[in-house]
Homo-oligomer: A and B are copies of this chain.
Amino acid sequence: MKKVLAELITIGDEILYGQTLDTNAHWMSGELDGIGVKVIRRTTCGDQEEEILQAFREAAQRAQIILITGGLGPTSDDLTKPCLAKYFDSEIVMNKQALEELEQYMSSRGRELNKLTRLQAALPDKCEVVSNERGTACGMWFNNLGKVFVAMPGVPHEMKFMMKAKVLPRIKQEFDLPIIYHKIVRLAGIGESWLAEKIENWENTLPENVKLAYLPTYGDLKLRLTSIGSNLNEQKKEVDLLVQSLLPLVQEYVYGFDDDSLEMVIGRLLKEKNHKLALAESCTGGYVAHRITSIPGSSDYFNGALVPYQNDLKIHELGVKEETIVQFGAVSEETVAEMAMNIKRKFNADYGLASSGIAGPGGGTDDKPVGLIWIACAFGEKVKTRKLNLTKDRDVNIKLTSVALLTLLHQRLVAKD
């Protein structure tokens, strides 16, 4: 089977000027890889007609599928649509389907269609509409001599929705693709190089057609096995056996598979047990609550959170003893343990999580440097605490602490005792 090749073209001066980080191309690369399309090149060009047309011509020489993002807005610096019209020798006319969908989208949000927004429904007459249920700029699908060009908006959530709902399914239908089977094992509480050492022997037994990738983000690690072949059942069987032989080596760090996230798995476990969770977040400042509540249906098991950013709220709202803070400080095992136990009781929960630390960049002392963070998980009459020594970077510390805190709860939820 010949490989199906794709190129991604991102359009926008703001990317070339370094003002906007292009996360779209990164996400699209992963999705295309997942369905067996090989991305051979990514190009970013500016809001200049000739540069865009040149990028189209070059890409069409190499790839069968050309996916384009950005430059679809209604303003004068948005050139993707006129460039596609020129490239395909097509005329821009009001598209009935696009206009209907646009009117529906606007009216569902109780808004009027103004002159400029209406222009979004004017499209090259040689393209098919790719509906955008998340915004006003619809996508365009061109098919010319076996080359497919698809233009999508640059707003990430609009593009992602369009890719998942429309573009990927149609690519799978129209092209003869190899079968790719991915299995992701998700781990937390272990670093990449420690993991690599632990599973070195296992890794050496992997067959040719199965590739392994380590994908770490902030203390959360994905281990992805990819099998390329032509028989999904056999591939599944082979990969699942490999995973079975991996698990005993890393069991204590594994929290899930595939699209699982820590907050999702925790949600499932809490729901199963009909247990409730409450949070007292000082240094994480609401970020753990945000992660928990990002899961649909979290109101079934999440009672609530308190972010006591001042000591007097820790004392008067959360009931931490004043002498604990005076004697040990707000950033201490003693304080964080009281926080976790008290929030559990006060919010009628089965588990109470708490964080207190010096997120930085300021506020550190010799004794308690930036990056020193205490976390705790209370359950029944017990509290489990952990001390973290993290970085000098505030944002990184908040993210790493949230993973550590969720990991502490997850370990509790799956504990045998």
* Residues in chain A within 8 A of chain B (CB atoms): 13-23, 25-33, 38-46, 48, 51, 55, 58, 73-75, 77, 109-110, 114-117, 134, 136, 155, 157, 161, 192-194, 196-197, 211-217, 222, 224, 226, 279, 281, 285-290, 292-294, 296-299, 302-310, 312-313, 317, 346-348, 359-362, 389-391, 393-396, 398
Interface pair B293/A286, CB less than 8 Å apart: yes
Complex CA distance for A82 and B299, rounded to whole angstroms: 50
Complex CA distance for A77 and B225, rounded to whole angstroms: 13
Interface pair A110/B290, CB less than 8 Å apart: no
Interface pair B42/A16, CB less than 8 Å apart: yes
Please give the distance in Å from A111's CB to the nearest CB on chain B. Answer: 8
In the complex, which residue of chain B has the Cβ closest to the Cβ of A307? B305
Complex CA distance for A48 and B38, rounded to whole angstroms: 13
Given the interface pairs A19-B213, A33-B18, A40-B46, the reply to whether A306 lies near B305 with Cβ below 8 Å is yes
Binding site secondary structure of chain A: mixed
Interface pair B15/A29, CB less than 8 Å apart: yes
Please give the distance in Å from A70's CB to the nearest CB on chain B. Answer: 11
Interface pair A42/B41, CB less than 8 Å apart: no
Which 10 pairs between the two chains have the least Cβ-Cβ distance?
Answer: A18-B30, A285-B293, A286-B289, A18-B29, A286-B286, A305-B307, A42-B44, A286-B290, A116-B193, A287-B290
Task: Enumerate 10 A-B pairs (CB-CB under 8 Å) in ascending A order.
Answer: A16-B39, A16-B40, A17-B39, A18-B29, A73-B193, A114-B194, A290-B290, A290-B398, A293-B359, A303-B313
Please give the distance in Å from A381's CB to the nearest CB on chain B. Answer: 23
Interface pair B285/A134, CB less than 8 Å apart: no
Complex CA distance for A89 and B286, rounded to whole angstroms: 51
Taking a contact as CB atoms closer than 8 A, the residue among B109, B293, B360 that contacts A309 in the complex is B293
Complex CA distance for A303 and B315, rounded to whole angstroms: 13
Interface pair A116/B74, CB less than 8 Å apart: no
Taking a contact as CB atoms closer than 8 A, the residue among B45, B217, B304 that contacts A306 in the complex is B304
